[in-house]
Structures are given as C-alpha cells and as structure tokens.
Amino acid sequence: MNDKKDSAFVEFKGIVKRFGNVTAVEKMDLKIPEGSLVTLLGPSGCGKTTLLRMLAGLEDPTEGDILVKGKRINDTPIHKRNLGMIFQNYALFPHKTILDNVAFGLKYRGVSKDEMREKVLNALEMVRLPGVEDRMPSQLSGGQQQRIALARAIVIEPDVLLMDEPLSALDENLREDMRREIDNLQQNLGVTTIFVTHDQREALSMSDKVVVMKDGILQQEGNPEEVYNNSKNHFVADFLGHSNFINAIVDDEKDLYVKVTLNDGNEYLATPAVDFNKGDKAEMVIRAQKIILSYKNEYKEEKNMNCFFGKIVDRSYMGGEVSYFVELENKQVLHAISFVKRSPFKRGEEVCMKVDPYHCRLLAI
C-alpha cells in the first residue's frame, strides 16, 4: 500500500456513547490519517458501527468531540458533513433508475442536470458498470447493486467515505472481487475511508490501519502486519487469525528471547511482548500458520527452535492448505495450518511441530 500522510484528517477525541445504562463506546481517542483506509474491526456489539454513525451524524456522542479536517462537527447537520456512506443492504431506491439512484446526493448540491448526468456516468465508469444508468436496481445482481451504492457514495466527491459491513451480504467469491475493487478505487481516489467489518480477512487485506475494538474499548491499532504479528493481548491474538494459547512461567532471559517453562515441565524460548520478571505467569501465543510440521521420526534438533511432539487427532483438507489438530503428550491440542507440499498427514500419525521462538509471542496474563 502507498504511504499515507501522518496528519489527522478525522479525529475522535474522548468519544463516549451511552444508550441508557449501556456504554457502547468508552473514551475513544483515534486519529485517521488523510487518504488512508482504516478498518474498525471487532465482534458484533463492540461499538464500531456506533462510532461510524456518530461520525455520519446519525448518532450524537454523549461526550467528546469529532473533528474532520481540524473542524469540530458534532453540531454540523448530516447533509453538510460531505460524507459518503455505504450500507450492508445497499439502500438503493427500487423505483428509481440507476441514474437517479447515483445522482441522489447531487440533487441537494446545486448541480445542473447536464453536469449531474456527466458526474453519474463518470462514477459508473469508476466502478466498472458503464451503460447501466437507465436500468432499475432489480435488473442488477447483488454485486452490481453494491457497485451502484459505491458509485452513489463517491459521486459527491466526499471528504470521508464510510462503509458499514458493505460486503457481508455477498457470497465469498463476490466478496473477494469487491474487496479488490474497493481497495483499488480507494487508492486511485485517495479518499479517506473508514471501513467497518467483523471479517479479519477484509481488515488485513485492505487496510492501512486496523483498529481492533471490544466492548466499546480500543484494544489495539496499527498496520495489519503489526497488529497480526505483535498482538498486545489475548483478545486481539484470538480474534485475528488462528492462535494457540499455552500457559507458561517465565524463567530467565536467553539471548534475544525469554526462557519459559510450560505446564508439561518442558522449557521453550519465546519473544516477550512486555517486560517480564522471573516467576511471572504468562501466556505463549503461537499462530497456527507459523508451525512447521514433520514426521516425528524425521526430527532433528535445531538450535533455538521450539519443538512440540504429538499425534494428529483431526484434520481438514482445504485444497491449498490443511488444518491439523495435534494432541500433545500433556493432552493439550494445538492447531497447525500448513500448505500442501506433500501428501497430507493422516489421523493418528505422530508428528513434530517446530516453531521459531520469534513466532512464540509471550503475553502477560
């Protein structure tokens, strides 16, 4: 992705939103760089859509300020915020043509009829649907209707583009196509975009910055690689990808790593996320994709390489990769995902699971 400017184009300062006794967003401080695509990621009810709706003017914050281009917009009417918004259900007018649907936001901006048509046709070109302006929404597929919703959002040349779960109604293949479409369009337009999703793949594949939320509280923010590889807590590590969690006791430092003892009595090396003292309880996190599998009888000891031994108790073949569940001698089951380079391991086979200590992330409990 292209480097983005560091200036805050959109800023949430101490934002709180309560619905009666329920706090939906708690003391949120967040800066959105100009021209970036930032994803709000988290489970249902974590506050990500509420945050988006407050920016759009559909909800009022209980506390705090929302700024766009340095200007406080808390009291700015919705129609004067110059924001484009795309919803999960497309929100197209079924009785209007595609031309009228896309032009809807322009009618309140003093644009002449000829200029309006030109802008609509240009927007349809951008979303790769030229020539459909005289059709009705019912004549288009779900994926095409979502493109029309995208054209309607960008035709007004918004300061900020807001997307609330825009792909969740599409099947998997269409979602992949639209992910690329939105990513490419955002890059070409350079419009600051805030994208709400609960889908980790969407967040990791499209974003300049990922903001992980839980129970209305920001858990971690950063670029996709940072948040995925250096998760700060159990929730983030568990929500992003497939992770194994193993209880450990900190022994001492060893070169670049920390030596830990697991509940099976064996010693391993791990990379600490925070400072630890000897005797501290910790949690070692290992991503399923970072585990290298081999047959147990092929095991050769390697310096500074963690090795776990166990038996395949379940597996799922997924074409290009295989998901394995391996039961260790202490009965804990670890999850490993491997690309298919050879005949997949079978249930009951004894294997060695090798992991570089760099990929054994040590979190505080």
How many domains does the chain fold into? Answer: 2
Together in a domain, 228 and 273: no
Together in a domain, 186 and 282: no
Q: Which of 237, 264, 282 is the last residue of a domain?
A: 237
Together in a domain, 56 and 175: yes
CB atoms near residue 133 (< 10 Å): 20
Give the CA distances from residue 219 to residues 3, 42, 196, in Å, rounded to whole numbers and listed in that order. 24, 10, 15
Alpha-carbon distance 85 to 97, whole Å?
A: 19
The answer to whether the CB of 101 falls within 8 A of the CB of 137 is yes
Q: Which of 184, 208, 237 is the last residue of a domain?
A: 237
Alpha-carbon distance 54 to 337, whole Å?
A: 40
Alpha-carbon distance 145 to 226, whole Å?
A: 34
Longest Cα–Cα distance in the chain: 77
| pLDDT per residue of the chain (365 residues) written in tens, 0 to 9 | 444 445 799 999 999 999 999 999 999 999 999 999 999 999 999 999 999 999 999 999 999 999 999 999 999 999 899 999 998 887 899 999 999 999 998 988 888 999 999 999 999 999 999 999 999 999 999 889 999 999 999 999 999 999 999 888 888 888 888 899 899 999 999 999 999 999 999 999 999 999 999 999 999 999 999 999 999 999 999 999 899 999 999 998 777 899 999 988 899 999 998 889 999 999 999 999 999 999 998 877 788 889 999 999 999 998 889 999 999 988 999 999 998 777 789 999 999 999 999 999 999 98
61 in any annotated domain = yes
The answer to whether the CB of 212 falls within 8 A of the CB of 238 is no
What is the token pair recorded at 260?
A: 């830990």
DSSP 8-state class, residue 278: T
Together in a domain, 233 and 250: no
111 in any annotated domain = yes
266 in any annotated domain = yes
Together in a domain, 57 and 193: yes
Alpha-carbon distance 184 to 180, whole Å?
A: 6
Together in a domain, 249 and 344: yes
Give the pairing type, strands 37-41 and 209-214.
parallel
- pLDDT reported for residue 3: 46
Together in a domain, 155 and 62: yes
CATH of the domain at 111: 3.40.50.300
Half-sphere exposure of 20 (CA within 13 A, CB side): 2
The answer to whether the CB of 192 falls within 8 A of the CB of 81 is no
The answer to whether the CB of 312 falls within 8 A of the CB of 345 is yes
Nearest C-alpha neighbor of 152 from the set 132, 178, 174, 123: 123
118 in any annotated domain = yes
2 in any annotated domain = no
Together in a domain, 215 and 261: no
Together in a domain, 220 and 279: no
Nearest C-alpha neighbor of 355 from the set 296, 298, 282, 302: 302
**What is the model's pTM?**
0.90
Together in a domain, 152 and 32: yes
355 in any annotated domain = yes
- pLDDT reported for residue 96: 96
CATH of the domain at 308: 2.40.50.100
Give the pairing type, strands 306-317 and 267-272.
unpaired
Q: Which domain holds residue 183?
A: 8-237
Together in a domain, 163 and 251: no
- pLDDT reported for residue 104: 92
Alpha-carbon distance 171 to 192, whole Å?
A: 27
1 in any annotated domain = no
Q: Which of 237, 269, 286 is the last residue of a domain?
A: 237
Q: At what angle do helices 142-154 and 113-126 cross, to 10 degrees?
A: 130
- pLDDT reported for residue 6: 55
DSSP 18-68: EETTEEEEEEEEEEEETT-EEEEE-STTSSHHHHHHHHHTSS--SEEEEEE
Together in a domain, 76 and 114: yes
Nearest C-alpha neighbor of 202 from the set 182, 229, 187, 221: 182
Edge-to-edge strand ranges of the sheet holding 71-72: 22-33, 8-19, 63-68, 71-72
First to last CA, the chain: 34
3 in any annotated domain = no
